[in-house]
Amino acid sequence: MKPEAILLIYGEGGHKAQMVRLLSRLLETGKCSGVQWIGLCENKQEIKSLTNFSLLPVRDKHSRKSTICNIPGNLWLCCKFLAKIQRTWKVKGVISTGPAIAILPSLFFKLLGARIVFIETWCRFETRSWTGRAMYRIADRFYIQNDEQKQYYSGAIFGGLL
């Protein structure tokens, strides 16, 4: 029987900082004992206490051409990691603080019965992120960190800042 796991998906900078804060709070509660934590991150932003898989960023903020050229390689690598994760663990849940690398794994594991939790980034006040727009439709629980976001995500749960 495969061990149960929760997949944490996050990116660079604030995305990682939010995930580190969330993980420390989850571990403090002790409610998730007996579950393994797996990290799927971007640009080798691994959290040391996790089993990590690292993807390239989905988009290059400086070049659309580079973004388009990187898509096939990123999709292949992502699918390879998803297959390995699925063979090794029974993923019971996916938690993401963004970015776009969260979309494909969330869809994949949702189809396999996992619960999906998305936390919109703390830097959003007056706009929705591209990832947030997609994940709002996918996630079983969608959290916002700023009260101003209620106007954009009517069914979101206000959780306060991480």
- Whole-model pTM: value is 0.91
Mean of per-residue pLDDT scores for the chain: 90
Q: What percent of the chain has pLDDT over 90?
A: 57
- Using CA atoms, how far residue 138 sits from 1, 70, 87, 102, 162, in Å, is 28, 24, 23, 10, 22
Q: What's the distance, CA 38 to chain centroid?
A: 11
Residues 156 and 132: beta-carbon distance below 8 Å? no
In degrees rounded to 5, what are phi and psi of residue 36? Answer: -90, 150
pLDDT digits (tens, 9 = 90+) for 64-74: 888 888 888 88
Tell me: pLDDT of 160 over 80. yes
The residue extents of the domains of the chain are 4-158
Q: How confident is the model at residue 85 (pLDDT cuts 50, 70, 90)?
A: very high
CATH number of this structure's domain 4-158: 3.40.50.2000
Separation of alpha carbons 83 and 75, rounded Å: 12
pLDDT digits (tens, 9 = 90+) for 87-145: 999 999 999 998 889 999 999 999 999 999 999 987 778 888 889 999 999 999 999 99
Residue 140, both tokens: 């079983």
Interval 24-34 mean pLDDT:
85
Question: Which residue carries 């061990």 as its tokens?
Answer: 3
